[in-house]
Amino acid sequence: MSIEKSDWIDNNPNLHNPHLDGDSFFWKAGPVGILLSHGYTATTAEIRPLAEKFYEHGYTVFAPLLPGHGTKPEDLNRIHWKDWVRTGRESLQKLFDTCEQVLVAGESLGGVLALYLASIEPHVAGILLYAPAIRTPMSKLDYLKLYFGAPFLTQVGRASLDCPDVWQGYSGLPLKGIIQLLRFQSAVRQRLLNIHQPMLVFQGRKDATVGPEVGNIILEGISSEIKEHHWMEKSSHVIILDAELEQVAVASINFIEKITAPLQMGR
């Protein structure tokens, strides 16, 4: 099974590290599939190293390039958060058509998408979250600046990038897109009680993008009985590109094996 290549522009000047491969990919392997989604302003280059670990262990992996990403910042200002959901649902269906069991996973924005998909699709077998951006630490002044500035500024710069040598995406932050992310966060927080699947959450101690409380917000809000929360002491927001990728991958695979084995035995 394959997917059509998106409107990817080689050596796109709008991207940090344009030489990296950040397009959608579908890697067919075993009967357990994982929908793995990237973060806000990023591309699938962000999640490719973890996807490779999953694929090496026999898991089918689908990583879609989310709408508004991988082209130019203006495109991210034109989307609605439901566009991300639509892509996620279509991708999830492809995995349901291909695999016996399907999990959802994501970094940052991708984690928010994974939560939403699990809340509307009870057949999702499990959830893996990497620095999920369920809430963004912003002051009232930050909100005012965002809403007043969005009509006039395409994007604003940021002081630094996590893992800049291996991360790909827009160097700035498209403002109208951030507003959609905030609305998406709110919509997902209202749906947490609908989530019953086993969940694994990773957070980095050096994360300056989302607050330390996001893991507890999620784990205390869901209805799941199986929950795991891991703090990675040396990692930034982009946990799956940072120094503890190997440990994150091992813990993720152990969790997947634990929650899918009983389902396999019951068939």
Judge whether residue 107 has pLDDT over 80. Answer: yes
Judge whether residue 132 has pLDDT over 90. Answer: yes
Mean pLDDT, to the nearest integer, of 99-106? 97
Quote the CA–CA distance of 263 and 265 in Å, as a whole number.
5
pTM: 0.93
Q: What is the DSSP letter of 78?
A: S
Does any domain span residue 193? yes
Judge whether residue 214 has pLDDT over 50. Answer: yes
Please tell me the least confidently modeled range out of 3-7, 135-139, 210-214, 217-221: 3-7
Does any domain span residue 5? no
Percent of the chain topping pLDDT 90: 82
Residue 76 in 3-state DSSP?
A: helix
Going by C-alpha positions, the residue among 210, 62, 187, 195 that lies closest to residue 127 is: 195
Does any domain span residue 11? no
User: Which residue is it, tokens 């963004």?
Assistant: 136
Burial 52-83 (b: 16+ CB within 10 A, else e): ebbbeeebbbbbbbbbbbbbbbebbbebebee
Mean pLDDT, to the nearest integer, of 59-78? 96
Judge whether residue 57 has pLDDT over 90. Answer: yes
User: How many domains does the chain divide into?
Assistant: 1
pLDDT of residue 1: 31
User: What is the number of alpha carbons within 13 Å of residue 132 lying toward its C-beta?
Assistant: 31
pLDDT in tens, 165-178: 999 999 999 999 99
Which domain does 95 fall in, by range?
25-265
Active-site positions read: 108, 207, 237
pLDDT of residue 262: 56
Are the CB atoms for 111 and 40 separated by under 8 Å? no
Mean confidence (pLDDT) of the chain:
92
Judge whether residue 60 has pLDDT over 70. Answer: yes
Mean pLDDT, to the nearest integer, of 51-61? 97
Does any domain span residue 15? no
DSSP one-letter string for 58-90: T-EEEEPPPTT-SS-HHHHTS--HHHHHHHHHH
pLDDT of residue 10: 58
Does any domain span residue 9? no
Residue 101 in 3-state DSSP?
A: strand
Quote the CA–CA distance of 143 and 219 in Å, as a whole number.
26
pLDDT of residue 151: 86
Strand-pairing partners, residue 130, are 107, 202
Judge whether residue 5 has pLDDT over 80. Answer: no
Quote the CA–CA distance of 63 and 91 in Å, as a whole number.
8
Burial environment of residue 123 by CB neighbours within 10 A (0 to 12, 13 to 18, 19 or more) = exposed
Does any domain span residue 90? yes
Quote the CA–CA distance of 96 and 100 in Å, as a whole number.
7
Does any domain span residue 116? yes
User: What is the number of alpha carbons within 13 Å of residue 100 lying toward its C-beta?
Assistant: 12
What CATH number did the domain enclosing 49 receive? 3.40.50.1820
Strand-pairing partners, residue 42, are 169
Q: What is the DSSP letter of 63?
A: E
pLDDT in tens, 111-126: 999 999 999 999 999 9
Does any domain span residue 34? yes
